[in-house]
Amino acid sequence: MDQAEPLDSVQNRLVEENAYWLALQDRNWLIPAPKIVSVFNECGSLLPLWRTPYSFLSKLGVDDQTTRRFIGNIERVRLQDYVAELKTLESKQVKVIRLVDKGYPEMLKTIENPPLVLLYKGVLSDFTNCIAMAGTRNPSLYGRIMARRIAKSLAGKGYTIVSGLARGVDEWAHSGALEAPKGRSIAVLAWMEPIYPEEHVDLAKDIERRGAILSETFKSPLNKSAPARFVQRNRITSGISRCVVAVESDEEGGTVHQVRIALAQKRKVFALQPEGNERAKRGFETFINMGATAIKSAKEVLDFLSRESPNTENSRLDSYYQHSLDWGEIGKDRS
């Protein structure tokens, strides 16, 4: 009888495998995610992209120039840095969900350039019933009230409210969702540490207890790329969601970008009709011209969702909570 591989050896091998995924996450703009998944599906590992990248990428149709740039990048990768990051994630109870893992949000797989890896912390493990909410960091009183009211109404019907933990509409949407009985919320972050803005640390902890925080990056980058991370995370916010609700914005800014991304992903977008705020009226008109549907309350959103797929409300609400997560500890095989 063949002797089983020592547990330490298996664990080390799987940690190393996840390190490959994290390393490629930093450079996933070079090689499209479907091609990386093809390598994994064929070999059960991304190791061939390190050992024989040219032969594999050539077979996948990657041009020579891109292949040379990719090889130049991986030659500079210090894999031990990513192994160390995995140990840090484990110590902080942050899970790693790879694009090929069972727990990866199905809707997110369908977008252009999906994250190769999601970092996850919280109790929610089902991302199938999400609604994104976005808006200005400086909402009017009406905007704050309506963001909270709409989120609470939708969460009360069993939907998970997704937003970005920013000041303004985001924080009111998260708070409204958590006010509903068993209400759930997900915060999609530009990075996991440190929590930004700092005053939302306690809100983030509340969200973890009733939902989850997600990001594709652990530490804030200490360079000029940091602002771009807020733009990049928008594709995740709408990507995991069945629709997007925009609550107040000017005719330019992050919410306009979020709406544009959502429409490109074929997500339905709703725009709250403003009251007496000229800035919000300009943003509202922009959204309508882009293809959004005007709403005055959560009812129009719920009507759309019930037509799209009835019987999705409270019948399985408790099943969305999974305090003993399927993914196990960092480094275990989740393919």
What residue spans define the domains of the chain?
Answer: 7-82, 122-319
Radius of gyration over alpha carbons of the chain, in Å? 21
- For the chain, the farthest-separated pair of C-alpha atoms sits apart, in whole angstroms, at 78
Predicted structure pTM score:
0.85
Q: Range with the lowest mean pLDDT among 6-10, 49-53, 284-288, 317-321?
A: 317-321
Q: Range with the lowest mean pLDDT among 17-21, 179-183, 225-229, 245-249?
A: 225-229
Mean pLDDT, the chain, whole residue set: 85
pLDDT at 331 over 70: no
- pLDDT per position as a tens digit, 154-191: 999 999 999 999 999 999 999 999 999 999 999 999 99
Q: How far apart are CA 19 and CA 22, in angstroms?
A: 5
Q: Range with the lowest mean pLDDT among 90-99, 226-235, 243-252, 270-279?
A: 226-235
CA 114 to chain centre: 9
Helix, strand, coil tally for the chain in percent (to 5) = 50, 15, 35
Q: What integer pLDDT is reported at residue 11 of this predicted model?
A: 56
Beta partners for residue 136, in sequence order: none
Q: What integer pLDDT is reported at residue 154 of this predicted model?
A: 98
Token pair in block for residue 325: 């997560």
- Please state which CATH number belongs to domain 122-319: 3.40.50.450
Q: What integer pLDDT is reported at residue 323 of this predicted model?
A: 28
Q: What integer pLDDT is reported at residue 66 of this predicted model?
A: 87
pLDDT at 136 over 90: yes
- pLDDT per position as a tens digit, 31-67: 888 888 988 998 899 988 888 888 888 888 888 888 8
Q: How far apart are CA 231 and CA 241, in angstroms?
A: 17
Return the top range by mean pLDDT from 32-41, 189-198, 250-259: 189-198
CA 148 to chain centre: 21
